[in-house]
Structure 1
Amino acid sequence: MLVTAGLAGVNLVAANRFNQATASLTANIKAAQDEKTDADTLHAQQQQTDAQFAEAGRMRAVLLPEIRDAIDANASISAELTKITLERVQEQQGGTSAQSQSSKQNSSSSSNAKKQGSLTEEQRKKVEELMKANQQSADGDSTTTNKTEQKTQNKGTGVTKPW
């Protein structure tokens, strides 16, 4: 009985960390769509979100399959967003030196400056796909978490409930 309670506790902690990481991921996806968002800050926040998913899945050997699958799904979405934010940071850093060279040559420095703050069309599509996938995952995860909490409560009391 003590082992079951311990396993239930580990699953509840993982589900809680997963929910926090998912909320952070959702906020980062929304921030990635805003052209005014600082790319360095967003990338740092996204790395923290990746770490939260890693922490949530640390005890994966004892996690329920529903929780483990949900963590894996959102962790892969988070990893994709991290790649996008890294590309954005690199473009801005590369764009800064390219901008100084282009201003010396008196070419299209104004168009480079406009491009620096926003996502490319390809990145924008990826972010939109990530948002859709995250929304679908979040819809399924809320029911998974509720089922997990019900199972845990049922195991803890030793009473089987009909629903």
Structure 2
Amino acid sequence: MTSDPQWLTREEIRAWLTLAGLVESLPTVLSAQLKQDAGINNFDYMVLSCISDTPHQTVHMSDLAAFVGGSISRLSHTLTKMENRGWVRRRPDTDNGRFTEVALTQEGKDVVAQAAPGHVREVRRVMIDVLGHSQTLQLGTLLDQVLAAVNPDVQRVFDERFPDVDLHAYDG
């Protein structure tokens, strides 16, 4: 027999709905700015910027999928579109052919360079400037704990990408 769930309190409901509302609203806000400035959406920017931030602007497709939190199917569709635009190239990994590498082209680098300044301004406007540095780091700590429960693969990729950043140092 299944026990009744531990129902949420009104405060927990409000907190949960706030997070859910943010999760739904934020990509729309970021995509609107990116479309205006660079003609791309937030998911496209996440893909391109992830590749851009790696050594040699090349990343394994599986790590890229984890980083952007998208399915391999969605990522593959996006990469096909980007390949057709000349922004990325896919190729087998020279060291291990079981992996596919995604490399940023010069055209892709140009798109990131065009989109990045406005994106950073928008991220600052909607989060950093609202919370301030200290609360932003505290929020990162809290969200990292939730991410570990929701998608540990994404958290692993973030930890690998930012080995020098310990969000849990900002618990207090």
Fold match (TM-score > 0.5)? no
Structure with the higher strand share, 1 or 2: 2
Relative contact order (C-alpha < 8 Å, sep 6+): which is higher?
A: 1
